[in-house]
Structure 1
Amino acid sequence: MDQHKQNQSIIDELHEVGGTFERVFISNATNTTANQYSFKDILKVYNDKEIDILKIDIEGGEFESMDQILSVPICQILIEIHGGTVEKTLNIIQQIAKKDFYLFAHEVNGHVLQVGEYSFIHKSCFNHFGVIVYGRYLVDDE
């Protein structure tokens, strides 16, 4: 799903691995006239109940959509967080971590310092991927 037009070669590669491409806007509520869909409604369209890897690059929409996204079983989240304040970015990272996701990689965008890429894995997927946890620092363990 993307709001921007994609190169045909990318779409062809998606089809080769059983993926699909739809040009839509992610929103809190579905409005088909405006081509806006909630995350949960997108999953219903494709009859998905869980996600192995979710790449999120929704140009700031992650702040309003994160509650919906985290309500679905996801193994890994790869997210680009756009342009919020340091506090806003930290809040969304902690929101993800509080749902038992562990940060395993991050990088700052070299062009726009307010944008960063963060990669998380859910603790339920540790055995599948052979994860060894050395520490946790985004939330307090209870």
Structure 2
Amino acid sequence: MNANSGSLSVFLIFLVLMITISNLLTLGKTEFFDYQQNSRILSLGLNNQIGFDEHIFNETEGHCTLLGADLNEQNQPTKNKYTKMNGQLFSGRIPDQLPISEMMKKSGKKSVELMKIDIEGGEFNGLEPFIKEYPVCQIFIEIHGAPAKHLQMLQTIAKYKFRIFNVDVNPLCPLCCEYSLINEKCMEQFGVTPLDIMIP
């Protein structure tokens, strides 16, 4: 399968999801994170790629808390950069070796402004226990698998009052798609106004 057909497959998956999931909202922005100082950022699935984390750190002028994790221990340059940003690194397979809640307990944090998660399927078992226990404002997540898996994951997240505001296809992974969601409780905080309910 080439990149174009893969992108088309993911786009069709998204159409199926949008038709099926009820109570999704059309929102007035495509990105809501405004880099507030003292923000708590949870970045899961680093794979020694921490450009996003560095961007948040720079935009907040260092006034943020970074918690990063990956299946494998990160290389020394990544460790050094995270140390300079006063971030905490964790390693282990989520959720069986490393429950997300354990990261929060060890850091002493009680809530998260932004959660970025790309853990190659670990989201299906690891995410719900966490968002059930801890307040999270926004989730940027890559979901892996067939359309039914995407639907299952999005329905689970929607139970906790999260609404999709942006979708990006992954041309390198025909069965992957990146979703951005915001919790209804945080819409006022980030200046978000729901425009309409797309599907009754």
Q: Does the alignment pair 1:99 with 2:167?
A: no
Matched, 1:14 2:82: yes
> Partners of 2:155 and 2:131 in 1: how far apart?
12
- Is residue 50 from structure 1 mapped to residue 111 from structure 2 by the alignment? yes
Corresponding residue for residue 142 of structure 2 = 80
Q: Equivalent residues in 2 for 1:1-142 (5 A)?
A: 1-6=69-74, 8-28=76-96, 36-71=97-132, 72-82=134-144, 84-137=145-198
Distance of 1:127 and 1:9 partners within structure 2: 39
Q: Distance in 2 between matches of 1:129 and 1:51?
A: 14
Q: What TM-score results when the alignment is normalised by the length of structure 2?
A: 0.59
Q: Distance in 1 between matches of 2:193 and 2:171?
A: 29
TM-score between both structures, scaled by the size of structure 1 = 0.80
Name the SS of the counterpart of 1:87 in structure 2. Answer: helix
- The CA RMSD measured in Å over matched residues stands at 2.0
Contact kept in structure 2, 1:102 and 1:136, CA below 8 Å: no
1:17-55 deviations in Å (ceiling 9; x for gaps): 432222222124xxxxxxx12122222111221111111
Find the structure with the greater CA-based Rg. 2
Aligned residues: 131
Question: 1:9 and 1:103 mapped to 2: Cα distance?
Answer: 35
The 2-side partners of 1:27 and 1:106 are apart by 25
Contact 1:11–1:20 (Cα < 8 Å) also in 2: no
Give structure 1 stretches of 5+ with no counterpart. 29-35
Identity %: 34
Q: Which has the higher contact order (CA 8 A, sep 6+)?
A: 2
